Amino acid sequence: MTGLLFVAAALAHGDSFELVRLSARPEAPEELWGVVDGWGLVHSEDGGQGWGWLCEEAIGSTAVYDVLAWQEGSALLGTVDGLLQVDDTCIGQSVGGLPEGFVLTLARRGEEAMVALVGSESGGVYRCGPESCVATSLVGAGLFPKSIVVDGDTVWATVVHTGSEEGLAAELWTSTDGQEFAVAHAWPEGDVDPRVIHAEGASVYAWLRPRTEATLPGFARSEDGGASFTTTFTTGYYTDPTPGFLVTGGGGTVLIGSWYGARTWRSVDAGGSFEEVSLEAPALRCGLALPGRALVCTDHLVDGFDIAATTDGVSFSPELCLEEVEAAACVTETCAPYSDSWRAASALGGGRCQLPADTGERPDDPPCGCADVGGSAALLPLAAASLLLARRRRRLG
């Protein structure tokens, strides 16, 4: 019976752990923040040696989409309830100046944050400080922002809107002052979700996901500031969510992790061509470039760990298993009622935290004892089948 209760509690939040965002301030890469889909945040102040969990109940939002390491001991959160700030109290505080809506994506531009908001009446890009936000010129009715990337002072944003006579329009906009935006590129087919994943000088990388099966999702790059794009790699199916990315080495090395199977591809020529990385590589879900190394979010069920480190995009070493993380000290009591479900989800997520990263081994039975949740191993096949049907929410595609 205890096992059944644990499984039910885990399903109430999400089927298992899925780390989908990582963030660190460039001047303080030892302070890390991560978004765990359906579970809130994890936070490290020592470069990833120790972590604390901040459950969604403590944060005050039922879904966190993105995190931006902000100031020392604080982060901005893009949530279904708008823009929140979390500081050393671990309690989310609302940032004013935004209309009602949910915040999908955040990017830092100097002392400000660029915020992509999807609202019931209007949406677009906003400039935000710790206490309030102001609208940029890229705000309007029927406007759905998809991504924001900052390179120095330049802001790149992709949007889909309903202002076209042909239906939906998909566009890349740019700003050099963070306030006034102009169209850099419009995808003529329109029926596509474009997301900028990297921009540096005249080089702009994007992921294009169609809304119909006429074409495949793919990686596209521009070498003329976004005026034109060439697709160099396609994979998956048009209904697949956006994959994870890692761009390092001045944009020269690109990793793409597909949601269409546990696979990862690597380019060493700035996205001109890709090759699949060996089976020892984790299934990439997100990436964060740091001085001297990079961190990637991985698929725990397959790879045995949730964060891995790499210096070359080929060899990976385990950094973190989320089942080893306890509630942060400042929210221990608040998150205590959900700790059992946190542990149950860690078991359902795989529980292979000791799996060597460099062998490619895929044992049939998890070696960490996680098949014994609540003393009932027989529950796991039932739970695994239920997970495919009972996911309460997924990240927005």
- pLDDT tens column, 2-40: 333 333 333 344 445 788 899 999 899 999 999 998 899
* 339, containing H or E segment: helix 339-348
* 56, containing H or E segment: helix 56-59
Secondary structure percentages of the chain, helix, strand, coil, to 5: 15, 45, 40
Nearest CA to 27 among 111, 114, 130, 93? 111
Distance, CA of 132 to CA of 109 (rounded, Å): 15
Per-residue pLDDT tens listing for the chain (397 residues): 333 333 333 334 444 578 889 999 989 999 999 999 889 999 999 998 899 999 999 998 989 999 999 999 999 999 999 999 998 788 889 999 999 999 999 999 999 999 999 987 889 999 998 789 999 999 998 899 999 999 999 999 999 987 666 678 899 999 999 999 999 999 876 678 999 999 999 999 999 998 888 788 999 999 999 999 999 999 888 888 888 999 998 889 999 987 666 688 999 999 999 999 877 777 788 999 999 999 998 865 555 678 889 999 988 888 888 878 899 999 999 999 988 888 777 665 544 455 444 444 433 433 333 333 333 333 333 333 333 333 333 333 3
What's the pLDDT tens digit per position in 125-152? 999 987 899 999 999 988 999 999 999 9
φ, ψ of residue 7 to 5 degrees: the values are -65, -45
**Do 158 and 152 contact (CB within 8 A), yes or no?**
no
Show Cβ contacts of residue 332 under 8 Å, excluding neighbours closer than 6 positions.
326
3-state secondary structure of 383: helix
Give the sheet arrangement for strand 92-94, strand by strand: 64-69, 75-79, 82-86, 92-94
Q: Are strands 230-234 and 218-222 parallel, antiparallel or unpaired?
A: antiparallel
> CA gyration radius for the chain?
20
For 17, 40, 50, 51, 349, the CA distances from 340, given in Å and listed in that order, are 14, 15, 20, 18, 14
**Do 114 and 158 contact (CB within 8 A), yes or no?**
no
